[in-house]
Structure 1
């Protein structure tokens, strides 16, 4: 078999959950061995971010990929795609016609990993803790529509919402809504470092050096009761400094699975099928990349400057030069495969045009070239990020309308600097909390948005977002969602660039790889197992 890539459609739930393998494996591992997974995600405890994996703080894909294995939520995203399903809960549902009262009943006999019972009061305490702490990551914004939480006995929890929200079941599937043991966490303070305790599929032990997590060991939790079947006894997640080091590890057999983020060159090499022992799985993804703007910063405060950048940027060229077939141009914050998507930026700006951009700046009396710095993170979104920003810089500078420089910063410093407004223009990625258009719009535009953006659009906040959330049939929310996207294209508080596919590479004796990631880029380590190669 020459081509080793298994391409999965958006609804992977229709496929058999085993990666078809070809050729033998030289790993020599027995079925009792821990499965070792590599990642380039870094986990560092710093002065500004001392609690990187506390559910009340963590709001990046790497941290959530640790928490989803260990901290249980009432609801969870199912294997494949679809509406969230009960996990810690036995059942959950809206109990009114207006989507403002949501009731859940816990599974009977639910326990934390230490054997203590999980109660409705623990659920209430955990969610109220996140809302009370209000960490600067902004993750608590997912829960701010909760008005009050009441408990009825040990197993029933009722959420009273401020306004209708058909997406609330999805929000209860995110780690910020994770159920914590009050004896392990303080109610009004984050838990520093790398300790986690919960009732999820695995227990967790971190190996830490110089305040950095080197590896994480996930061991099957015998007390877990929930919706997933755990197909292994232990998984070790190892963090590598870059894609090259991770690639060497899988070549040597030091790791069994390679996840985000591989380089475009690595993906192309594996796609060619030159390694008989490693398969590449291509999956539909919802990752997006965009430029964010501090709309109070002098260099980009004028809307015309941001509009001119939107008019000049050539997404087709950017994707072609940097990512090839591994990404697609994106003309909205909402990916093309999500209900409610519109090509708002293309509808407004059409094809790239220096002449149109110049007219925008001239009409606003903006002196050219506009001087600004674009910032990017060097170690969080993959090794091609620097090249991406080099292409963007060249496009803008070649127009003669801009004088752009670029600057890269490690993620441990970058994320806190962005939240403090240190950057005028900055590159970010977004891996959705859940696969709904609301989650590609509200986190950027609503009150308490995670970017800490000074941009405020009261029509979006007070009218359009609430209107869209009233619609349980998400297709019926398209009108409001399209209006939000049109406003974003007009005001350009963010500039969408592309949406990407996602990939996992695995050695031939590893099964379940087709489900190792869901469309939101969430790791599902429980799906992995060892089996005979075919």
Structure 2
């Protein structure tokens, strides 16, 4: 109780006066889904997990491809590229006070393989170590023996991975936040998986989002969690951190849904970083103001789309469930003409002008243009009311145009750019036919993320930040029938699946690029989603903050920051 009183007084002092030089304050609209690395698969959660936990490897400086050791000190590759042997850093202390051992690393990766589910990033670890993305429930060839053999410690305390086949992206996969090392004894002591064959089956596919470890995190990183509730996370520097002691001793992450409140706090100097509202708003309200540092023309390696679900699981979004003007059937978007119509009704150029202040990239594929495999020659849907009308008249044998429809779509709450995109689409679709109705409702991010991955959303704006720098991580994710976003879209195209699998089976860059071009062209024809323009990257923060660096593959690391 005394600690909570002291912390409450500390928070009050920060809110009522200038922020101390050893303290950072972040304000964001998004809530936090989890603090368990094994379940971390969204940018808000990973932004905090990356401060408390550490991976074997990380990206060097600003590079998106060059890797360097973190909890590892080095590694060797043998057996024709199928065996990786890691030397681990010594004298690394968990926040619990225990010293990290190889057994902790082995437990971490086995835990991720055991609990692997579609709601986490462990599918690509499973692909590398077990040869497939599914867990033991969905793939009976996944046994405890196979999991146990895939990652082991030898007598020298080295961690050894044994892959069934070569995976050129394996090292990059290990740098992902979700592969951060957790302590075996501590985690098992919380009632999580024991780390043995005895209870492994009970944990297969287990959702770790709300795990006990999420509530009581324990990493090796430079910051440890001191307090958390629905709106505030308070961190302090870990006094026994193995690396250089950070200059920032305290970090407050606050959930502040109201944009105006975030902006006012930032401009007063009561917040060092805030989540903005899109370029047009941020340039008008923040850029050029006293005490503001603005960085522009940053590379954007994310991709976003409005995904149309071809088998909507939530019947509450279907209205009447029929094409009678009062609802839609669950398979409304299974007609390609419906999907093409919605694509033709979205005005990407207006979105770039109004939301991105003219600084957006109208992409042809759900892949960053900086990645190999991107094809600028792939067809694009342009805003065309006449074309949209023609597609709607073809859809469902004319029933859509004649009877109309009522569609309910949710979007991430307190996010102006997402709201603007959905409202622009709604306006243009409804303008085509007075019988068309699109109802929009805001929803908290954690809830929207969960319902979309369960296939419950009818139409949802979702994005993807790369787990590792490879085209497969985008195109397989969005377009494969067993990709991560497949439950959100239920899109399946046999030819695309064949091309994506062929691209995974070769290390020939030219051949992979050819196959990805074919995927892009087929995706244009099938129109499973509306590709959103990618904003040109920018960032802003209080000018007192020093040491800010940008790497699009990692979170902003607090340990590198200081304040004048």
Which residue matches 2:52?
70
Stretch moving more, 491-500 or 258-267: 258-267
1:223 to 211, 221, 241: 241
1:88 to 56, 71, 75: 71
Question: What is the rounded CA distance, in whole Å, between the counterparts of 1:402 and 1:120 in structure 2?
Answer: 63
Residue 53 (str. 1) matches residue 71 (str. 2): no
Residues 238-262 of structure 1 deviation map (CA, whole Å, 9 limit, x = unaligned):
2212322111111222222334556
TM-aligned CA distance change 1:223 to 1:494, over 3 Å: same
Which residue matches 2:314?
none
**Structure 1 residues without counterparts, runs of 5 or longer:** 1-26, 45-51
2:222 to 182, 197, 201: 201
**Structure 2 residues without counterparts, runs of 5 or longer:** 1-16, 131-149, 194-202, 312-329
Give 1:229 deviation, angstroms: 7.8
Task: Give runs of aligned pairs for residues 149-188 of structure 1, distance below 5 A.
Answer: 149-153=151-155, 155-185=157-187, 186-187=192-193, 188=203
Give 1:139 deviation, angstroms: 2.2
SS of equivalent residue, structure 2 residue 61: coil
TM-aligned CA distance change 1:262 to 1:293, over 3 Å: closer
Task: Give runs of aligned pairs for residues 91-130 of structure 1, distance below 5 A.
Answer: 91-97=74-80, 99-130=81-112
Question: What is the rounded CA distance, in whole Å, between the counterparts of 1:261 and 1:268 in structure 2?
Answer: 11
Give 1:475 deviation, angstroms: 6.3
Which residue matches 1:483?
518
| Contact 2:503-2:511 at 8 Å conserved across structures | no
Which residue matches 1:290?
305
Which residue matches 2:27?
38
| Contact 1:289-1:428 at 8 Å conserved across structures | yes
| Contact 1:195-1:206 at 8 Å conserved across structures | no
| Contact 1:56-1:130 at 8 Å conserved across structures | yes
| Contact 1:358-1:401 at 8 Å conserved across structures | no
2:370 to 327, 330, 337: 337
Residues 140-169 of structure 1 deviation map (CA, whole Å, 9 limit, x = unaligned):
222121122232235322223344322222
Residue 434 (str. 1) matches residue 468 (str. 2): yes
Question: What is the rounded CA distance, in whole Å, between the counterparts of 2:118 and 2:240 in structure 1?
Answer: 35
Residue 278 (str. 1) matches residue 292 (str. 2): yes
1:254 to 263, 266, 270: 270
| Contact 2:108-2:179 at 8 Å conserved across structures | yes
1:464 to 500, 519, 525: 500
Question: What is the rounded CA distance, in whole Å, between the counterparts of 1:36 and 1:153 in structure 2?
Answer: 45
| Contact 2:104-2:182 at 8 Å conserved across structures | yes
TM-aligned CA distance change 1:69 to 1:392, over 3 Å: same
TM-aligned CA distance change 1:334 to 1:112, over 3 Å: same
TM-aligned CA distance change 1:138 to 1:490, over 3 Å: farther
Give 1:320 deviation, angstroms: 1.4
SS of equivalent residue, structure 1 residue 90: strand
2:116 to 134, 137, 160: 134
Which residue matches 1:21?
none
Residue 322 (str. 1) matches residue 365 (str. 2): no
TM-aligned CA distance change 1:103 to 1:462, over 3 Å: farther
Residues 68-122 of structure 1 deviation map (CA, whole Å, 9 limit, x = unaligned):
111111111232123232211112354344x443332212333323342322222
1:245 to 261, 270, 276: 261
Give 1:127 deviation, angstroms: 1.6
Which residue matches 1:403?
436
Question: What is the rounded CA distance, in whole Å, between the counterparts of 1:492 and 1:325 in structure 2?
Answer: 25
* Residues matched between the structures, number: 483
Give 1:66 deviation, angstroms: 0.7
TM-score, length of structure 2 as denominator length: 0.77
Give 1:402 deviation, angstroms: 8.1
Which residue matches 2:335?
302
Residues 486-517 of structure 1 deviation map (CA, whole Å, 9 limit, x = unaligned):
2322223332112123443222221012x1x4
TM-score, length of structure 1 as denominator length: 0.81
Which residue matches 1:14?
none
TM-aligned CA distance change 1:125 to 1:393, over 3 Å: same
TM-aligned CA distance change 1:39 to 1:501, over 3 Å: farther
CA RMSD of aligned residues (A): 2.9
| Contact 2:38-2:120 at 8 Å conserved across structures | no
Give 1:29 deviation, angstroms: 5.8
SS of equivalent residue, structure 2 residue 372: coil
Question: What is the rounded CA distance, in whole Å, between the counterparts of 1:216 and 1:502 in structure 2?
Answer: 28
Question: What is the rounded CA distance, in whole Å, between the counterparts of 1:268 and 1:259 in structure 2?
Answer: 15
TM-aligned CA distance change 1:153 to 1:451, over 3 Å: farther
- Relative CO higher for 1 or 2, CA cutoff 8 Å, sep ≥ 6? 1
1:518 to 551, 557, 563: 551
Which residue matches 2:383?
352
Which residue matches 1:527?
560
**Larger helix share, 1 or 2:** 2
| Contact 1:61-1:521 at 8 Å conserved across structures | no
Which structure would you say has the larger Rg?
2
Give 1:34 deviation, angstroms: 1.5
Question: What is the rounded CA distance, in whole Å, between the counterparts of 2:178 and 2:553 in structure 1?
Answer: 16
SS of equivalent residue, structure 2 residue 331: coil
Which residue matches 1:5?
none
SS of equivalent residue, structure 2 residue 301: strand
Question: What is the rounded CA distance, in whole Å, between the counterparts of 2:383 and 2:90 in structure 1?
Answer: 59
Which residue matches 1:12?
none
| Contact 1:115-1:223 at 8 Å conserved across structures | no
| Contact 2:364-2:520 at 8 Å conserved across structures | no
Question: What is the rounded CA distance, in whole Å, between the counterparts of 1:334 and 1:522 in structure 2?
Answer: 20
Give 1:291 deviation, angstroms: 0.9
Residues 250-283 of structure 1 deviation map (CA, whole Å, 9 limit, x = unaligned):
1222222334556732333322x1x222222233
